[in-house]
Structure 1
Amino acid sequence: MLTEAVVGLPDPRLRPWVDRYLGYREVASTPLVRREVAGAFVVLILGWADPLDVDDPRVGGRGVSGSAFLAGPFDGWCVTRTTGTGAGVQVVLSAPAARRLLGAPLGELANRAVPVDRVGGWLIHLRDALAAEPAWPARFARLDAA
């Protein structure tokens, strides 16, 4: 169950590439399963709590399991599953921003999710810094700076 959700807008200079930030905290004492909608956006999850599984039901098996990953764009829905406490920041990126972040063709990310440590170690350090911040406004400011 979602217990906290805080929307943050990036610095105006970043808005062509970063749509929004969503800080979240949720607790699921039983398995929480969601069907996530398809979209042309790319989502960066920088979480610091229990892992989330992301599956594409068309290919079977788990796509990725972890608390920090980069996902999408998906041309069909996917399924997420978690149990326990989830906390982190979701960053909704434009395709050009994701391309620059990946340093590879965006097609390599289509219909899949990859752990952020495969994208760049600096994202793990950023995630850890976000977790150490005491409040959402400070976390969003750190994302702007990064």
Structure 2
Amino acid sequence: MDQRLSFVTLAVADLQATRQFYVDGLGWEPAVHVPGEVLMFRVADKVVLSLWSRVAFEEEIGQRVATGGVPPLTLSHNVATPDGVDRVLQHAEAAGGEVVAAGQDRAWGGYSGYFADPDGFRWEVACNPGEIGQSVLP
């Protein structure tokens, strides 16, 4: 098996609210949108973020496990500067997201903060000065 990730699929409660947040709020361009079923974005070379209606998700793969808290997953958006982190967090909040941790210096040497999308999925916005962090910048 090749070492790669092609799709990240998240089950969402309200696909229309999700679309409003990502498309109308954050300004992302959908690659695929099937109303009531799925919304997909090309987020990197050969990587797609798929936001799937929870109903359609469960019909195909079974009922998801309820965690009763924060989903045990984070998505990360890396930027080049700490100011960039703060700007993205402000943009996400203006789009209707909830900033759950303001930007701050981290013990690992970078600067990051977190916002939650309409389904509570946590997005880390990070300035990672390390080699791997720099390797993912556009």
**TM-score bin (small chain):** under 0.3
Higher strand content, 1 or 2: 1
Normalised TM-score (structure 1):
0.22
Normalised TM-score (structure 2):
0.23
Which structure's relative contact order is higher, taking Cα pairs within 8 Å and 6+ residues apart?
1
- Highest CA radius of gyration, 1 or 2? 2
